[in-house]
Amino acid sequence: MAGERIAFVPTMGNLHGGHVSLVQAARERAQRVVVSVFVNPLQFGPNEDYAAYPRTPDEDRKLLEALKVDVLFMPEVDEMYPRGQALTARVHVPELEDILCGAFRPGHFMGVATIVTKLLNLVQPDVALFGEKDFQQLMIIRRAAEDLCMPVEIVGLPTTREPDGLAMSSRNRYLTPEQRAVAPQIFAALERARRAIESGRRDFAEIEREGMGMLEAAGFRPDYFSVRDANTLAPPSDESEELVVLTAARIGRARLIDNVRAKRPR
Ligand code: PAF
């Protein structure tokens, strides 16, 4: 393996089409592909779905074998946190970790940044790949890698969607058939906001209210629906050209997230 490039795809398992796209993109970027499957308890809050999170190790293993992944890393919790979660050193990314999803899931992004740092240190890849569905997560990982001088390229890949627009996610499993039928309204609401921005509207607060209203009318309990600068995640300034519209919305047992990019016309 000496001299060969290594690409790494960290996952929490229950693999779907989005993960397959990441593995295929990894294969194009390196001679060796490493995938980890680890449901990381540190990134779940006390009342969240850590225990219920779908675990399908046998199916995951078979799929990764079929994709000809070179190394599958499936550690146990006490291997990753030998001193226990409470005592482990932590990675924080100030500000970014507290906004949007971070405001509703305190500690979540610390858990993500910590485990990703540990996995990158263990695997030592040249490149690591993440889905853009978790846009805030991707930005936090990029920031941690840059600030902590990690010698790795962080690559984000476009969200993989079902034919009706729903972003692929392991948490889609929580949806009943009725909830699944309305779930594409998340992407529809984001797309409506994107079109409004790209047609020249500047009233972002009103666009956000319309998005919240559309989701509520479809039966969701949205945590937020927000227009942000795609490079900083701050509210858009007059200079912001690349925007992103992000949302997190609850329905039944599921909390779904999604986002779309929008280019502001000049
Ligand atoms: O996106 C995920 O599946 C997880 O947050 C990650 C990056 C594997 C860290 O546990």
Q: Are residues 141 and 180 in the same domain?
A: no
Number of structural domains (the chain) is 2
Q: Are residues 124 and 202 in the same domain?
A: no
What's the pLDDT at 1?
Answer: 62
Domain-ending residue, one of 157, 181, 216: 157
Q: Helices (DSSP H) in 54-184: which residue ranges?
A: 57-66, 77-80, 101-104, 108-123, 135-147, 177-182
Burial 198-217 (b: 16+ CB within 10 A, else e): eeeeeebeebbebbbebbee
Domain CATH code at residue 131: 3.40.50.620
Q: Is the beta carbon of 120 within 6 A of some atom in ligand 1?
A: no
Domain of residue 237 covers 170-261
Whether residue 92 lies in the annotated active site: no
Residue nearest to atom 6 of ligand 1 (CA): 11
Q: Is residue 1 part of a domain?
A: no
Is there a contact between 138 and 156 (Cβ–Cβ < 8 Å)?
A: yes
Q: Is residue 164 part of a domain?
A: no
Domain-ending residue, one of 157, 192, 220: 157
Mean pLDDT by 10-residue block, N- to C-terminus, for the chain (266 residues)?
Answer: 92 98 98 98 97 98 98 98 97 98 98 98 98 98 98 98 98 98 98 98 98 98 98 97 98 98 94
Q: Is the beta carbon of 12 within 6 A of some atom in ligand 1?
A: yes
Q: Are residues 145 and 19 in the same domain?
A: yes
pTM over 0.95: yes
What's the pLDDT at 162?
Answer: 98
Q: Is the beta carbon of 93 within 6 A of some atom in ligand 1?
A: no
Q: Is residue 114 part of a domain?
A: yes
Tokens of 13: 């398992």
